[in-house]
């Protein structure tokens, strides 16, 4: 309720100060339904297309037609079956995600949710998936941020794909460090023991689940979630995120 009120308040204030103005370039016309991103800035979005890693969806620059697994997946013991992202986490998109998550720019949500829905909904609809499970935040971090970005994205995707969202399968029990500045090894260590089953863990057995988050880089966070779900008997766990961090 608080997040919805803040979003409405933010949109009202933004329309008053910058009526129908793109909040990326601050020049062209843009409206609330599009997340205040104009058509010209929208063209900066880089959608992820093949070739890509068959496991984690990391895009590969070059010509390759065979299925392959990237070095990141070969080095990590990932618990999800596959992970896919809609766009590359770079430039304008990454800036918008950071402003949305950390600076209260809630008006960008329709834009980001739209990117995820565009790519994920056709892949998930009628695919036999039982529930969408957002990556949970620790209660302390959620209180600071006042919303869970993964939960918001999950609700948008669930409505579009007609898959129910389940908030009680997972809980975050450790207030982990932000992954952004950590190395691959540090990310995996940081996520060890971070999640535990939620109060509805008995309902996980035999279900095919979709874990949703905003950004995937090494897959350490979503794999930690998938590991808990698999331990509780999930038949399969895949991952969808808005953006994919590109490894160096």
Question: Residues with Cβ < 8 Å from 109, sequence gap 6 or more?
Answer: 7, 35, 100, 152, 156
As a whole number of angstroms, the distance between CA 194 and CA 224 comes to 8
CB of 175 closer than 8 Å to CB of 140:
yes
User: What does each of the 248 residues of the chain score in pLDDT, given as a tens digit?
Assistant: 555 555 555 555 555 555 789 999 999 999 999 999 999 999 999 999 999 999 999 998 877 778 888 888 888 889 999 999 999 999 999 999 999 999 999 999 999 999 999 999 999 999 999 999 999 999 898 888 889 999 999 999 999 999 999 999 999 998 765 666 666 666 666 667 789 999 999 999 999 999 999 999 989 899 999 999 999 999 999 999 999 997 65
Which strands, in side-by-side order, build the sheet including 83-88? Answer: 83-88, 236-244, 208-216, 131-134
| pLDDT score at 6 | 57
| pLDDT score at 77 | 85
| pLDDT score at 60 | 87
| pLDDT score at 177 | 55
Q: What global pTM score does this model have?
A: 0.88
| pLDDT score at 178 | 66
Kind and range of the H or E element at 134?
strand 131-134
β-sheet bridge partners, residue 83: 239
Query: Per residue, what are the HEC states of 198-228?
Result: CCCHHHCCCCEEEEEEEEECCCHHHHHHHHH
Tokens of 203: 């309902």
| pLDDT score at 152 | 97
| Burial class (CB within 10 angstroms; exposed 0-12, middle 13-18, buried 19+) of 71 | exposed
* Three-state secondary structure call for residue 6: helix
């Amino acid at each position: 309720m608080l997040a919805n009120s803040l979003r409405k308040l933010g949109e009202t204030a933004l329309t008053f100060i910058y009526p129908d103005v793109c909040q990326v370039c601050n020049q062209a016309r843009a409206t609330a339904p599009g997340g205040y991103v104009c058509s010209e800035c929208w063209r900066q979005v880089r959608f992820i297309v093949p070739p890509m890693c068959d496991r984690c969806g990391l895009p590969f620059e070059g010509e390759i037609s065979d299925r392959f697994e990237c070095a990141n997946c070969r080095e990590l013991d990932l618990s999800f079956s596959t992970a896919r992202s809609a766009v590359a986490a770079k430039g304008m998109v990454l800036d918008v995600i950071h402003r949305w998550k950390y600076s209260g720019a809630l008006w960008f949500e329709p834009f980001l949710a739209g990117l995820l829905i565009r790519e994920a909904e056709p892949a998930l609809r009628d695919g036999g998936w039982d529930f969408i499970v957002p990556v949970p935040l620790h209660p302390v971090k959620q209180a600071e941020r006042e919303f869970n970005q993964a939960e918001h994205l999950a609700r948008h995707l669930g409505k579009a794909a007609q898959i129910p969202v389940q908030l009680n399968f997972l809980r975050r029990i450790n207030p982990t460090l932000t992954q952004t500045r950590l190395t691959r090894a540090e990310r995996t260590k940081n996520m060890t023991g971070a999640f535990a089953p939620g109060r509805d863990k008995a309902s996980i057995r035999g279900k095919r689940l979709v874990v949703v988050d905003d950004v995937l880089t090494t897959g350490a966070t979503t794999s930690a979630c998938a590991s808990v779900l698999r331990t509780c008997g999930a038949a399969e766990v895949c991952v969808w995120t808005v953006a994919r961090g590109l490894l160096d």
